[in-house]
Amino acid sequence: MKQIFTLYLFTICCFAYSQKTNNLSFKLDSMMPVRGFCIAAPQSKDLNEFVRFIDKELAPRHINTLILRVEFNFQYESHPELRDSDALSKRDVRKLVEVCRKNNIRVIPQIDLLGHQSWANKLGNLLKVYPEFDETPLIKMPNKYVWPNADNLYCKSYCPLNPDVHKIIFELVDEICDVFEAEAFHAGMDEVFYIGEPQCPRCSGRDKAELFAGEVSAIRDHLAAKNRKLWIWGDRLIDGKTTGLGEWEASFNNTYKAIDLIPKDVIICDWHYDRPDLTPVYFAMKGFNVVTCPWKNVESAKLQVQDIMKFRNHSTPEMKDRFFGIVQTIWSGTGQFLDSYYGRKKENGENTQVNCFNAINEETSKLALIK
Ligand SMILES: [Zn+2]
């Protein structure tokens, strides 16, 4: 009798829990439609643990969007010359696709286009293999990288007007979208410092906003032909001087005027890591769908959650649905993040990626449940 009673109690609890979870999921879909996580695609040694992390940690927290920065960490068949030396195989990617499909998580693969073609003193694979695509070929990579530097070198860019560059990058984009079965692609396009440079015979003297918008539109049009959406970071579309947001999370080189030149169906990832700036409203008022992106600042991230919910509650029907949600960005390696998450290595301080991850998810669920 006691056993039957225990079983009965257990069944009731399971039912109540699943009702609560379903109820929360339903509420979240209307209050915060995009609940996202953005991280580098794992190295092959970390793949299995990352797959488990998706299944056991992301899914129960109702994360429904995973932006994976793949870059050259895939064994591209269209361009084997651009693969990293240790790169994910098709079979590896299948594991990621399957665990995400099982948990209704949409995967959006990313390759940095236009900017971020180098990091510190290392060239990225595209310009290493195809130096003719370099927007600033006269600027040599330093042995030791420091910022600031005389060349204003943050990251290299490719030349968007080079007649051969799009064939290659679009083949990469198509292949990575196919293998991830993706309906959207993230092209990065943040922090583009080199654009329309005097040393480029094609871009010199051209309007930087038009060059930036031209590249966004070209990528968007390519994706649209296969019914795919383009996601990009938002910083180049914000006026850094007028807003006081500076040259990193906004633009000092006039690319911000591109906001009026690009198609409205590009989804904007509006990152702010120190303050919950209210720029999602700016993007939504310009007609764009937008997600707010925190990193590791716990208090700021909680305010970003509250802001998106508030914007959705207090906007016109036309504007409301443009506030898509929130995507936390992780900027350590995936292995390093997993080490911290599972307590194998301790991060110092309160404002850590792991604390922020937990805070965002707790805040989102709390607000959805009291609604
Ligand atoms: Zn150029």
Residues 11-65 pLDDT 10s: 555 555 555 566 787 889 999 999 999 999 999 999 999 999 999 999 999 999 9
pLDDT of residue 370: 73
% of the chain at pLDDT higher than 70: 94
Q: What's the gap in Å between 235 CA and the centre of ligand 1? A: 21
Q: What's the gap in Å between 95 CA and the centre of ligand 1? A: 39
Span 297-308, mean pLDDT?
98
Span 262-277, mean pLDDT?
98
**In b/e form, how buried is each residue of 191-200, taking b as 16+ CB within 10 angstroms?**
bbbbbbbeeb
pLDDT of residue 369: 81
Interaxial angle between packed helices 334-341 and 353-370, expressed in degrees from 0 to 180 and rounded to the nearest 10: 70
With H, G, I as helix, E, B as strand and everything else as coil, classify residue 253: coil
Q: What's the gap in Å between 211 CA and the centre of ligand 1? A: 9
**In the predicted model, is pLDDT for residue 190 greater than 70?**
yes
pLDDT of residue 6: 61
Mean pLDDT computed over every residue of the chain: 95
- The C-alpha angle 234, 239, 240, rounded to 5 degrees, equals 95
pLDDT of residue 119: 97
**In the predicted model, is pLDDT for residue 262 greater than 60?**
yes
Instruction: Write out the two tokens for 142.
Output: 């330093």
**In the predicted model, is pLDDT for residue 298 greater than 80?**
yes
Higher pLDDT: 273 or 22? It is 273
Q: What's the gap in Å between 133 CA and the centre of ligand 1? A: 8
68-108 pLDDT per residue, tens: 999 999 999 999 999 999 999 999 999 999 999 999 999 99
pLDDT of residue 371: 66
**In the predicted model, is pLDDT for residue 1 greater than 60?**
no
Largest CA distance in the chain: 86
Q: What's the gap in Å between 157 CA and the centre of ligand 1? A: 9
Q: What is the chain's Cα-based Rg?
A: 22
Q: What's the gap in Å between 83 CA and the centre of ligand 1? A: 24
**Residue 177 near residue 109, CB atoms below 8 Å:** yes
Model confidence, pTM? 0.94
Q: What's the gap in Å between 11 CA and the centre of ligand 1? A: 65
Spatial distance between the Cα atoms of 7 and 327, rounded to a whole number of angstroms: 40
Please tell me the least confidently modeled range out of 9-13, 90-94, 320-324, 359-363.
Answer: 9-13
Span 6-15, mean pLDDT?
57
**In the predicted model, is pLDDT for residue 8 greater than 80?**
no
Spatial distance between the Cα atoms of 294 and 136, rounded to a whole number of angstroms: 32
pLDDT of residue 16: 56
Backbone dihedral angles phi then psi of residue 122, each to the nearest 5 degrees: -115, 130
Spatial distance between the Cα atoms of 112 and 21, rounded to a whole number of angstroms: 36
pLDDT of residue 362: 96
Q: What's the gap in Å between 258 CA and the centre of ligand 1? A: 17
**In the predicted model, is pLDDT for residue 4 greater than 70?**
no
Write down the H helix ranges in the chain: 2-31, 47-53, 90-102, 125-129, 165-179, 208-224, 240-243, 279-285, 298-314, 317-320, 334-341, 353-370
